[in-house]
Amino acid sequence: MGRQDELGELARILNQSADHLQAQLTEITRDRARTEAVLGSMDDGVLAVDHQGRVLLANDVLRSSLGLQDPIGRHYMEAIRQREVAVLLEDVLRTGKRRAAEVEVHHLRRLYSLIGAPFPGDEGGSHGAVVTFHDATERRSVERVRRDFVANASHELRTPLTSIRGFVEALEDGALADPELARRFLGKIRTHAERMTTLVGDLLELSRIESGERPPQWEPVAPGEVVEDVAASLADLAARRGIGLRHQGRGAPAVVTDPERLRLVLHNLIENAIKYTPEAGQVLVWSEAGPEGSALVVVEDDGPGIAAEHLGRIFERFYRVDKARSRELGGTGLGLAIVKHSSEGMGAKVGVESTLGKGSRFTLTLPRDGRDPAVA
């Protein structure tokens, strides 16, 4: 039983104060844990500084992405040596207003979208500033790809349209009176119209592949049989161009993949090899066993080859090694982009090896089961 005198009352007050203090400490600890959990789960970096510019907080994402070492307590200009970040923080600290900026960190090759805002300081004290760092590198890359795609597609369509309009005007200006010349112009118009039809078809096919409009249809497939069928369908093209087309089965195992996408990929690869191989050249296609139950399909030619500086970009949309020759052969610049995206859609990988003047070799690696990303 507690004492009822003044000492007992004092003890009760002290106990109540201790309980209240413990509750406050518990709540502060809980709030800190919640704050750290929120900051730790964010994809964006967060930096907070006091009114003097000393770093109060830098979450793990920011430390990792910018490679910050022990930033807490240091001035932001020492912790982050980036002029644009300093300018934004100085502006927020000076004006107390929200600011936004984009900063390219050149040594990291990353672009960040920054938003800075003030936060209240201690009672009666000056405000600090908090900045979020959103990695906008991929967004900028997608925007650039989209912009380039629209520009390239417009250019590819404008070229034949301009030619068609020119031939039509020539016919209207009197070429119709010369039957031989009229037939030649009409032939040119047909060629350009067919080129536009092919281009639009390739654009639609690429759009369907990328949008996932047609999901893969998984079936057990014997790659050697598909190689044989596709090679047979292109035999006439090879014969017309004087190209020797040979195909071999070297014991490739059956795999689970999308047979239609596989046919599309092989058709593009073999047709490309035939088109770019000079007369009397050879195109060899074979399938064989790969590692871990996979199957390899190889398309090899003895054509002009591809220079090393082009190899990393040949699967990009509209990228051509030889633009004049590609258009002369009816190429749209989308064939290898379709190959890449179709391959990825069925869990496969496509690669290329080439030496200028010594031909090229494209290798398609089909996993044992394309549905399983662990074996893709």
Q: What stretch of H or E contains 349?
A: strand 349-354
Instruction: Tell me the sheet residues that pair with 285.
Output: 247, 299
Identify which has the larger pLDDT, 143 or 104. 104
The rounded distance, in Å, linking the Cα atoms of 233 and 44 is: 52
Share of the chain above pLDDT 90, in %: 35
For 136-214, CATH gives: 1.10.287.130
The pLDDT score that the predictor gives to residue 364 is 95
Fold identical between 42-135 and 136-214?
A: no
The pLDDT score that the predictor gives to residue 329 is 53
Q: For residue range 280-315, what is the model confidence (pLDDT) as tens digits?
A: 899 999 999 999 899 999 999 998 888 888 888 888
For the CA atoms of 10, 14, 16, 21, the dihedral, rounded to the nearest 10 degrees, stands at 160
262 pLDDT band (50/70/90 cuts)? very high
Asked if residue 39 has pLDDT above 90, the reply is: no
Contact 102, 113 (CB under 8 A): yes
Report residue 171 CA to chain centroid gap. Answer: 46
Residue 96: what residue type? G
Q: What is the mean pLDDT of residues 231-243?
A: 93
Q: What is the mean pLDDT of residues 347-367?
A: 92
Q: Could you tell me whether strands 360-366 and 349-354 are parallel, antiparallel, or unpaired per DSSP bridges?
A: antiparallel
Domain residue ranges of the chain, discontinuous segments joined by +: 42-135, 136-214, 216-376
Q: What is the mean pLDDT of residues 13-29?
A: 75
The pLDDT score that the predictor gives to residue 328 is 55
Q: For residue range 208-231, what is the model confidence (pLDDT) as tens digits?
A: 777 777 788 899 999 999 999 999
Report yes or no on whether pTM surpasses 0.75.
no
The rounded distance, in Å, linking the Cα atoms of 87 and 42 is: 24
In the chain, where does DSSP find H-type helix? 6-41, 60-66, 76-79, 83-95, 137-172, 179-211, 223-233, 235-240, 259-276, 308-311, 323-328, 335-345
For 42-135, CATH gives: 3.30.450.20
**What sign for the dihedral angle of Cα 88, 89, 90, 94?**
positive
Q: What is the mean pLDDT of residues 139-146?
A: 79
The pLDDT score that the predictor gives to residue 263 is 93
Asked if residue 6 has pLDDT above 90, the reply is: no
The rounded distance, in Å, linking the Cα atoms of 86 and 180 is: 73
91 pLDDT band (50/70/90 cuts)? very high
**CA angle 273–278–284, rounded 5-degree value:** 40
Asked if residue 254 has pLDDT above 90, the reply is: yes
The rounded distance, in Å, linking the Cα atoms of 95 and 89 is: 10
Identify which has the larger pLDDT, 234 or 176. 234
Does domain 216-376 fall into CATH 3.90.1300.10?
A: no
Q: What is the mean pLDDT of residues 123-150?
A: 83
